[in-house]
């Protein structure tokens, strides 16, 4: 193991107790506990604050300060955790196709991880918001793979891998990617675009998510949604910034930062 991260503090943060080892049970358990405890959130881009990707900043924000983050923050932190335990990890980058046509050409703005374990390759991704993968997928195309929530699968189309989930009986693509390992600068460039460009939805919308064992929670501006498997979504319209703050703290387990202008920004979110 290496000590680039305070592993004990991270495990306390996600509420995981007991022995961890570079094995499949640990990998799956870590992924499920991570997404249940560390929310996906974009408060920094929404407030015009920088999103830092160096390991110390990620550990401070997501572990020590009780915050969350989006894909680059979540998966870069998770990669450090896995390496500290002894897993072999490399980062990949993807083009998001969720709620987009299959042939849409989108930018490479999503990060996921490839993990090597006992001669096999697995994919993990703790940073895909409200439809995050709750477990690990064997890097093998064309087979349905169970997770703690919806089934997932991988297919290969014209040389690209597509990550898919079966939602209400239909296979939907989350994103597509190749297996060429990404370099840190790839994430720096993509992170800058996602966190600052006027066309990025993270700059103009509040987007928060958390997935526990029995439900997926999501917040888009003032719309708070609870999804349980095989049940209709429960949608709630939040009245004002105070109610949004309460939901952030109580439902998403987010330690809301003491940042100037936050309450005013929450009050101004569209319905």
Among residues 71, 131, 149, 162, which one is catalytic? Answer: 71
Within a domain: 66: no
Within a domain: 1: no
Our answer to whether residue 71 is catalytic in this structure is yes
Q: Which domain holds residue 223?
A: 200-267
Q: Is 3 helix (H, G, I), strand (E, B) or coil?
A: coil
User: pTM score, two decimals?
Assistant: 0.96
112: left (phi over 0), alpha (psi -120 to 50) or beta: beta
Among residues 2, 19, 23, 110, which one is catalytic? Answer: 110
d(CA 246, CA 234): 18
Burial of 107 (0-12, 13-18, 19+ CB in 10 A): middle
Report the number of distinct structural domains present in the chain.
1
CATH code assigned at 239? 3.30.2140.10
pLDDT at 3: 56
* Beta bridge pairs of residue 227: 216
Our answer to whether residue 125 is catalytic in this structure is yes
Our answer to whether residue 110 is catalytic in this structure is yes
Within a domain: 217: yes
Q: Is the pLDDT of residue 120 over 60?
A: yes
Write out the E strands in 30-177.
40-41, 88-96, 108-117, 120-124, 137-138, 152-157, 160-167, 170-177
Among residues 17, 19, 65, 125, which one is catalytic? Answer: 125
Q: Is the pLDDT of residue 1 over 60?
A: no
Within a domain: 251: yes
Within a domain: 216: yes
For residue range 55-91, list pLDDT tens digits in order.
Answer: 999 999 999 999 999 999 999 999 999 999 999 999 9
For residue range 8-61, list pLDDT tens digits in order.
Answer: 999 999 999 989 999 999 999 999 999 999 999 999 999 999 999 999 999 999
Q: Residue range 244-261: average pLDDT?
A: 96
Within a domain: 263: yes
Within a domain: 103: no
């Amino acid at each position: 193991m290496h000590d680039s991260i305070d592993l004990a503090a991270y495990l306390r943060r996600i509420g995981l107790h007991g022995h961890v080892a570079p094995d499949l049970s640990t990998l799956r358990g870590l992924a499920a506990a991570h997404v249940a405890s560390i929310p996906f959130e974009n408060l920094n881009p929404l407030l015009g604050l920088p999103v830092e990707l160096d390991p110390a900043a990620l550990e401070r924000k997501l572990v020590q300060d009780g915050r969350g983050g989006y894909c680059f923050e979540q998966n870069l932190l998770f990669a450090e955790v896995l390496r500290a335990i002894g897993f072999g990890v490399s980062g990949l980058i993807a083009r998001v196709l969720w709620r987009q046509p299959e042939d849409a050409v989108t930018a490479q703005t999503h990060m996921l991880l490839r993990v090597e374990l006992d001669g096999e390759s697995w994919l993990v991704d703790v940073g895909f918001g409200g439809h995050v993968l709750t477990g690990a997928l064997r890097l093998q195309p064309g087979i349905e793979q169970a997770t703690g929530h919806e089934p997932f699968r991988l297919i290969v189309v014209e040389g690209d891998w597509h990550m898919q989930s079966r939602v209400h009986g239909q296979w939907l693509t989350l994103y597509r990617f190749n297996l060429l390992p990404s370099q840190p600068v790839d994430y720096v460039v993509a992170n800058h675009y996602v966190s600052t460009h006027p066309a990025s939805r993270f700059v103009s919308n509040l987007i928060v998510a958390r997935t526990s064992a029995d439900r997926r929670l999501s917040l888009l501006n003032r719309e708070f949604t609870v999804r349980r498997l095989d049940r209709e979504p429960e949608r709630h319209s939040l009245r004002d910034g105070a109610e949004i703050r309460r939901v952030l703290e109580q439902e998403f387990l987010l330690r809301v930062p003491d940042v100037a202008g936050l309450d005013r920004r929450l009050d101004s979110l569209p319905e």
